[in-house]
Structure 1
Amino acid sequence: MPREIELKLAVPDAALAAVAAWLDAHGEARGETTLLNVYLDTPARDLARQRAALRLRQKDNQTGSQWLQTLKTAGSSQGGLASRNEWECEVAGEAIELSRFPDDARAVLAPLAGQLAPVFRTDFVRRTWIVTQDGARIEAALDTGTITAPGQARTETIQELELEWLPGEDGDDSPLAEAALRAFAARLAHVAPLTPSDLSKAARGYRLTGGSLS
């Protein structure tokens, strides 16, 4: 089962330039991508109650545009470090294609397929770098943008750095993952005051609508 291990850090306004400059100097820049995302759920918020999030993403960069669908299910987050199950695959356009998900993901979504509708959006620009820490490869993604929801006048700002463990031959659950992510975050702490965040973009979106990702 695919597993995502990442550390999320909130980045204050004054630190954005310093963090980007440090990553330019110490990492391998991978460019900039615009990510337009809609999250779907049922009117009863069945996915949220299962601690799951379903996302449809349009990804635009120098090479063109691509649509992706992603399902993330129950995981844990403490001190900004999150581990969760994740399935992602490409789709033809702006619609969920249930048949393209593997069996585990379809089992979660199939009973709800006819009720799914947009709930909120997260739209942001992502700059990415590949960095190394203690022999581990880490993707550093600096995201800036907004979270919006239909009928809600208020928006939330996205301004965060996600450090994601890139598994090697040992796989996603290597015991080195947490130590490598925290060690790299400690290096960044000397650059700017970054605060660990346990709230995913999905959790913040549900909060904006008056609900929660339990």
Structure 2
Amino acid sequence: MILAPNWLPARLGLLAAALLALAACQREAAPPPQESASAAPPVNPAPIDDQPAENVPPATAPVSSPPPSAAAGQARFDGYGDLRFGMTAEQAKQAWGGELKGKPDEPGGCYYLQPIWGSNPRDFGFMVEDGKFVRVDVGNDKEIAPGGGKKGMSADEIGKLYAGRIETQPHKYEQGAKVLRISDAGGGVLVFETSSDGKVARWRVGVPPQVDYVEGCS
């Protein structure tokens, strides 16, 4: 039998101890296992502040005046305000809601009803004939005709507002002046009188035949 030297067991013990120590060091030095990407908490990006530092008022569209063709007045092809052509004089007064002055020189005659502040019926007045309200006369630049026309406009401007509807006639009394006549499907007629400079001097709206009286009630 071959016997191991006396020093062999001691060396084997030392070798085993060294191996155990080396294994322990490797366990300590190994990095910790990383968490999977799916387990990582979501990262919320910082909010982007795209608002201005100062308070900015909301944008507002510029307010523009409506074109003359869109302007609305009291005059209509069938009357004025609550007054309607064909009403009796008393009905017209009630519809006006205030005092109207004027009376016929003879029963059934032609005359004008005017507000108490009126001085000339050709500047603003309601024509009555045969006891019926038949026409509105306007000679001021404040009132607007149905369709947007008014005193002071040129004949060209009137032509654009009422394109294709105007019947042009020479004025009966004023050389170079014209009468621009516009008929409505409902039976009303609008008449503009221009002066020799081509500008509207007055206008009227009413029903035939009274709307075509050039001299009014004269």
- Interval of TM-score (by shorter of Structure 1 and Structure 2): under 0.3
- Structure 2 length-normalised TM: 0.23
- Structure 1 length-normalised TM: 0.23
More helix, by proportion: 1
Structure number with higher relative contact order (C-alpha < 8 Å, ≥ 6 residues apart):
1
